Homo-oligomer: A and B are copies of this chain.
Protein backbone atom coordinates (compact mmCIF):
# COMPACT_ATOMS: atom_id res chain seq x y z
CA UNK A 1 0.00 0.00 0.00
CA UNK A 2 1.26 3.46 -0.88
CA UNK A 3 1.61 5.59 2.22
CA UNK A 4 0.33 9.11 1.77
CA UNK A 5 0.97 10.95 5.00
CA UNK A 6 -0.12 14.54 5.62
CA UNK A 7 0.40 16.40 8.88
CA UNK A 8 -1.81 19.40 9.64
CA UNK A 9 0.25 21.30 12.15
CA UNK A 10 1.26 24.69 13.53
CA UNK A 11 4.96 25.35 13.99
CA UNK A 12 5.07 26.35 17.72
CA UNK A 13 2.83 23.46 18.82
CA UNK A 14 4.60 21.17 21.29
CA UNK A 15 1.96 18.59 20.42
CA UNK A 16 2.68 18.80 16.70
CA UNK A 17 6.38 18.46 17.50
CA UNK A 18 5.69 15.01 18.99
CA UNK A 19 4.16 13.74 15.79
CA UNK A 20 6.90 15.28 13.61
CA UNK A 21 9.56 13.53 15.71
CA UNK A 22 7.73 10.18 15.66
CA UNK A 23 7.35 10.28 11.87
CA UNK A 24 11.05 11.12 11.44
CA UNK A 25 12.09 8.40 13.91
CA UNK A 26 10.35 5.95 11.60
CA UNK A 27 11.73 7.49 8.43
CA UNK A 28 8.22 8.23 7.14
CA UNK A 29 8.02 10.83 4.38
CA UNK A 30 5.21 13.27 5.06
CA UNK A 31 3.70 16.44 3.72
CA UNK A 32 3.73 19.16 6.37
CA UNK A 33 0.85 21.62 6.06
CA UNK A 34 0.95 24.73 8.23
CA UNK A 35 -2.45 25.75 9.59
CA UNK A 36 -3.60 29.28 10.36
CA UNK A 37 -5.36 28.70 13.68
CA UNK A 38 -7.36 31.92 13.32
CA UNK A 39 -8.64 30.71 9.97
CA UNK A 40 -8.64 26.94 10.09
CA UNK A 41 -8.68 25.09 6.79
CA UNK A 42 -11.78 23.19 5.67
CA UNK A 43 -9.60 20.06 5.70
CA UNK A 44 -8.75 20.52 9.40
CA UNK A 45 -12.42 21.03 10.31
CA UNK A 46 -13.40 18.01 8.25
CA UNK A 47 -10.66 15.75 9.62
CA UNK A 48 -11.01 16.73 13.29
CA UNK A 49 -14.65 17.81 13.67
CA UNK A 50 -14.72 16.97 17.39
CA UNK A 51 -11.79 19.02 18.70
CA UNK A 52 -10.98 21.15 15.61
CA UNK A 53 -7.35 21.14 16.76
CA UNK A 54 -3.94 20.47 15.26
CA UNK A 55 -2.02 18.25 14.93
CA UNK A 56 -4.01 15.99 12.64
CA UNK A 57 -2.24 13.07 11.01
CA UNK A 58 -3.88 12.00 7.77
CA UNK A 59 -2.76 8.57 6.62
CA UNK A 60 -4.08 7.48 3.24
CA UNK A 61 -7.02 9.85 3.63
CA UNK A 62 -7.97 8.80 7.17
CA UNK A 63 -7.44 11.09 10.16
CA UNK A 64 -5.80 10.27 13.48
CA UNK A 65 -6.26 13.00 16.11
CA UNK A 66 -4.52 13.78 19.42
CA UNK A 67 -0.73 13.74 19.46
CA UNK A 68 -0.23 10.90 21.98
CA UNK A 69 -2.56 8.71 19.97
CA UNK A 70 -0.77 9.67 16.75
CA UNK A 71 2.60 8.69 18.21
CA UNK A 72 1.26 5.29 19.29
CA UNK A 73 -0.38 4.83 15.88
CA UNK A 74 2.87 5.65 14.10
CA UNK A 75 4.72 3.18 16.34
CA UNK A 76 2.20 0.44 15.54
CA UNK A 77 2.00 1.03 11.77
CA UNK A 78 5.73 1.52 11.18
CA UNK A 79 6.89 -1.10 13.63
CA UNK A 80 9.94 -2.13 11.60
CA UNK A 81 12.39 0.40 13.10
CA UNK A 82 13.14 2.56 16.14
CA UNK A 83 10.48 1.29 18.56
CA UNK A 84 8.94 4.22 20.43
CA UNK A 85 7.07 2.35 23.16
CA UNK A 86 8.88 -0.46 24.99
CA UNK A 87 7.78 -4.01 24.13
CA UNK A 88 7.28 -5.10 27.75
CA UNK A 89 3.67 -4.43 28.94
CA UNK A 90 4.77 -3.08 32.32
CA UNK A 91 7.31 -0.72 30.80
CA UNK A 92 4.68 0.35 28.25
CA UNK A 93 2.27 1.15 31.09
CA UNK A 94 4.98 3.19 32.84
CA UNK A 95 5.75 5.11 29.63
CA UNK A 96 2.03 5.80 29.15
CA UNK A 97 1.77 6.94 32.77
CA UNK A 98 4.50 9.56 32.41
CA UNK A 99 3.27 10.79 29.02
CA UNK A 100 -0.19 11.13 30.56
CA UNK A 101 1.33 13.00 33.53
CA UNK A 102 2.91 15.45 31.07
CA UNK A 103 -0.40 15.86 29.23
CA UNK A 104 -2.35 16.46 32.43
CA UNK A 105 0.13 18.67 34.25
CA UNK A 106 2.62 20.58 32.10
CA UNK A 107 0.58 22.46 29.50
CA UNK A 108 -2.02 24.22 31.66
CA UNK A 109 0.38 25.39 34.33
CA UNK A 110 3.17 26.40 31.94
CA UNK A 111 0.68 28.51 29.99
CA UNK A 112 -0.04 30.46 33.17
CA UNK A 113 3.59 31.62 33.32
CA UNK A 114 2.88 33.99 30.42
CA UNK A 115 -0.87 34.63 30.78
CA UNK A 116 -1.24 35.48 34.49
CA UNK A 117 0.13 37.94 37.04
CA UNK A 118 0.52 38.36 40.80
CA UNK A 119 -0.47 35.49 43.07
CA UNK A 120 -1.73 33.31 40.22
CA UNK A 121 1.62 33.66 38.46
CA UNK A 122 3.58 32.90 41.64
CA UNK A 123 1.49 29.76 42.24
CA UNK A 124 1.96 28.66 38.62
CA UNK A 125 5.75 29.17 38.75
CA UNK A 126 6.00 27.12 41.93
CA UNK A 127 3.81 24.36 40.50
CA UNK A 128 5.66 24.25 37.17
CA UNK A 129 9.01 23.85 38.91
CA UNK A 130 7.55 21.10 41.14
CA UNK A 131 6.23 19.26 38.06
CA UNK A 132 9.55 19.57 36.23
CA UNK A 133 11.41 18.39 39.35
CA UNK A 134 9.09 15.38 39.55
CA UNK A 135 9.96 14.59 35.93
CA UNK A 136 13.66 15.16 36.62
CA UNK A 137 13.45 12.75 39.53
CA UNK A 138 11.75 10.13 37.32
CA UNK A 139 14.51 10.61 34.74
CA UNK A 140 17.13 10.04 37.45
CA UNK A 141 20.53 9.18 36.04
CA UNK A 142 19.18 7.55 32.90
CA UNK A 143 20.05 9.15 29.55
CA UNK A 144 16.38 8.99 28.47
CA UNK A 145 13.13 8.48 30.38
CA UNK A 146 12.82 4.89 29.20
CA UNK A 147 16.49 4.06 29.87
CA UNK A 148 19.17 3.88 27.20
CA UNK A 149 16.80 4.36 24.26
CA UNK A 150 14.99 7.53 23.19
CA UNK A 151 11.25 6.86 23.35
CA UNK A 152 7.66 7.75 24.14
CA UNK A 153 8.11 9.96 27.22
CA UNK A 154 11.02 11.83 25.66
CA UNK A 155 8.84 12.56 22.62
CA UNK A 156 5.97 13.71 24.88
CA UNK A 157 8.13 16.23 26.75
CA UNK A 158 10.91 17.53 24.52
CA UNK A 159 8.78 20.02 22.55
CA UNK A 160 8.03 21.97 25.73
CA UNK A 161 11.73 22.84 25.87
CA UNK A 162 11.29 25.25 22.95
CA UNK A 163 8.87 27.19 25.18
CA UNK A 164 11.15 27.24 28.26
CA UNK A 165 12.78 30.63 27.38
CA UNK A 166 9.29 32.15 27.08
CA UNK A 167 8.23 30.72 30.45
CA UNK A 168 11.49 32.04 31.92
CA UNK A 169 11.24 35.50 30.37
CA UNK A 170 7.56 36.24 31.03
CA UNK A 171 7.29 34.25 34.28
CA UNK A 172 10.65 35.44 35.60
CA UNK A 173 11.98 32.03 36.57
CA UNK A 174 15.02 29.89 35.75
CA UNK A 175 14.32 26.32 34.71
CA UNK A 176 18.00 25.68 34.00
CA UNK A 177 19.11 26.49 37.56
CA UNK A 178 16.17 24.62 39.13
CA UNK A 179 16.37 21.51 36.95
CA UNK A 180 19.96 21.12 35.68
CA UNK A 181 19.66 17.38 35.02
CA UNK A 182 16.58 17.92 32.90
CA UNK A 183 18.60 20.35 30.78
CA UNK A 184 21.29 17.69 30.28
CA UNK A 185 18.51 15.42 28.97
CA UNK A 186 17.31 18.23 26.65
CA UNK A 187 20.79 18.58 25.15
CA UNK A 188 21.02 14.82 24.64
CA UNK A 189 17.65 14.77 22.87
CA UNK A 190 18.69 17.68 20.64
CA UNK A 191 21.66 15.64 19.40
CA UNK A 192 19.16 13.42 17.58
CA UNK A 193 18.55 14.63 14.04
CA UNK A 194 14.87 13.60 14.24
CA UNK A 195 14.42 15.96 17.20
CA UNK A 196 16.59 18.82 15.96
CA UNK A 197 14.75 18.86 12.63
CA UNK A 198 11.31 18.87 14.31
CA UNK A 199 11.77 21.63 16.86
CA UNK A 200 11.64 25.37 16.10
CA UNK A 201 14.17 27.87 17.41
CA UNK A 202 13.19 28.68 21.04
CA UNK A 203 13.85 32.39 20.36
CA UNK A 204 11.22 32.33 17.63
CA UNK A 205 8.78 30.75 20.08
CA UNK A 206 9.56 33.53 22.60
CA UNK A 207 8.82 36.16 19.93
CA UNK A 208 5.60 34.33 19.09
CA UNK A 209 4.56 34.33 22.77
CA UNK A 210 5.36 38.07 23.00
CA UNK A 211 3.01 38.59 20.04
CA UNK A 212 0.30 36.50 21.72
CA UNK A 213 0.66 38.55 24.92
CA UNK A 214 0.12 41.72 22.92
CA UNK A 215 -2.86 40.21 21.13
CA UNK A 216 -4.38 39.09 24.48
CA UNK A 217 -3.83 42.58 25.95
CA UNK A 218 -1.29 41.31 28.49
CA UNK A 219 1.51 43.76 27.64
Interface of A toward B, CB cutoff 8 Å: 50, 59, 62, 64-66, 68-70, 72-73, 76-77, 89-90, 92-93, 96-97, 100-101, 134
Chain B, Cβ-Cβ closest to A75:
B89
Q: List 8 A-B contacts (CB under 8 A).
A: A64-B93, A65-B97, A66-B97, A68-B100, A69-B93, A69-B100, A73-B89, A73-B90
A72:B90 contact, CB within 8 angstroms: no
A93 proximity list for chain B (CB < 8 A) = 64, 69-70, 72-73
A90 proximity list for chain B (CB < 8 A) = 59, 62, 64, 73
A68 proximity list for chain B (CB < 8 A) = 100
> A76 contacts which of B65, B69, B77, B89 (Cβ < 8 Å)?
B89
Chain B, Cβ-Cβ closest to A69:
B96
Q: In the complex the two chains form, what is the Cα distance from A89 to B59 in whole Å?
A: 12
A96 proximity list for chain B (CB < 8 A) = 66, 69, 72
Q: In the complex the two chains form, what is the Cα distance from A76 to B88 in whole Å?
A: 9
Q: In the complex the two chains form, what is the Cα distance from A96 to B70 in whole Å?
A: 10
Given A77-B89, A93-B72, does the pair A101, B50 have CB atoms closer than 8 Å?
yes
A91 CB to closest chain B CB (Å) equals 10
Chain B, Cβ-Cβ closest to A94:
B64
A66 proximity list for chain B (CB < 8 A) = 96-97, 100
Given A90-B62, A90-B64, A134-B50, does the pair A97, B77 have CB atoms closer than 8 Å?
no
Q: In the complex the two chains form, what is the Cα distance from A97 to B70 in whole Å?
A: 10
Chain B, Cβ-Cβ closest to A76:
B89
